[in-house]
Amino acid sequence: MDKKSFLKLFKDNDEYMISSLWNDIELVEEIETPIFTKEFYPPAIWNFLEKNNINGLKFICKGLNNDSEKKMIMIVPKDYDTDGFDFPIVYFKIDGQNKFRELYHKDFLGTIMSLGMKREIMGDLIVKNSICFGVIVDEKYGIIEQEVKKIGNVPVKFEKITENEIPQSEFKTETLLVSSLRLDSFVSSVTGLSRQKSVDELEKGNILLNYNIEKDKSAEIKEGDILTVKKVGKFKFEEIKGESKKNKIRINVKKFI
């Protein structure tokens, strides 16, 4: 595969990011040694690479936890033994517990981004009880640890932690009624948007089905599918529970929180 064909695979994504990834692929082919990307990539990219063969290379991806949206990519030559290779990332905890106000995801992310950092140098963040758990490119951790002393007006404490100390994502299960298993109907039900606005979001490329952009409103979803709606959230279609008296389909959905 050449660069033009590779870029075409991800035409709905940032061209600079995809070009950088292609440069890493070419470098691995040249030096025949695994390398790591310097950024965390969105699911539409890493999920595709994990499942497909690109020039005979293997792609190993790692993020904050098993449900991560953003992951760093390790590009590996065919049949290469990766024992002894560790991802150049730091898992961290920012403790902002206090008596006066609760800190949220937007508070931690906004403060870190105010340092002029690119969002791509960090993976996902999980915030529980004013404590933020995250993962970052190792060479950038020292900067945020040194510069961030407060989140808002709340003093915070940084700590490096192990991967095993990262909490798993939480979710709540909801039972919803859908008129059909078409994607536009499912999007409308889980988001509360009208059917037409759901179609608009699909056409804009803001809907990911199993981590790939899906614009076909008539695509049929199935049990186990994962739906990501940009700026809204992530949902997993768990199971069909039957039909209502008005012939609508009753389904269980997990919403990640």
18-65: pLDDT as tens digits: 999 999 999 999 999 999 999 999 888 998 999 888 999 999 999 999
pTM beyond 0.85: the answer is no
Q: Are residues 137 and 193 in the same domain?
A: no
User: How far apart are the C-alpha atoms of 7 and 14, rounded to whole Å?
Assistant: 10
Q: In terms of residue numbers, what domain contains 68?
A: 3-76
Q: Are residues 103 and 148 in the same domain?
A: yes
Find the mean pLDDT for residues 226-233. 87
pLDDT of the residue at 34: 97
**57 occurs within a structural domain:** yes
Q: Which of 76, 97, 119 is the last residue of a domain?
A: 76
**82 occurs within a structural domain:** no
User: How far apart are the C-alpha atoms of 201 and 215, rounded to whole Å?
Assistant: 9
Q: Which of 21, 47, 76 is the last residue of a domain?
A: 76
Q: DSSP states of 196-226 as a string?
A: HHHHHHHHTT-EEETTEE---TTPBP-TT-E
Q: Are residues 201 and 226 in the same domain?
A: yes
181-191: pLDDT as tens digits: 999 999 999 99
207-227: pLDDT as tens digits: 988 888 899 999 999 988 999
**83 occurs within a structural domain:** no
Q: Are residues 181 and 247 in the same domain?
A: yes
Q: Domain holding 250: CATH number?
A: 3.10.290.10
Q: Which of 76, 98, 121 is the last residue of a domain?
A: 76
Q: Report the number of distinct structural domains present in the chain.
A: 3
**52 occurs within a structural domain:** yes
192-208: pLDDT as tens digits: 999 999 999 999 999 98
99-158: pLDDT as tens digits: 999 999 899 999 999 999 999 999 999 999 999 999 999 999 999 999 999 998 999 999
**249 occurs within a structural domain:** yes
| Widest Cα–Cα separation across the chain | 64
User: How far apart are the C-alpha atoms of 244 and 189, rounded to whole Å?
Assistant: 15
Q: Mean pLDDT score of the chain, rounded to an integer?
A: 92
**225 occurs within a structural domain:** yes
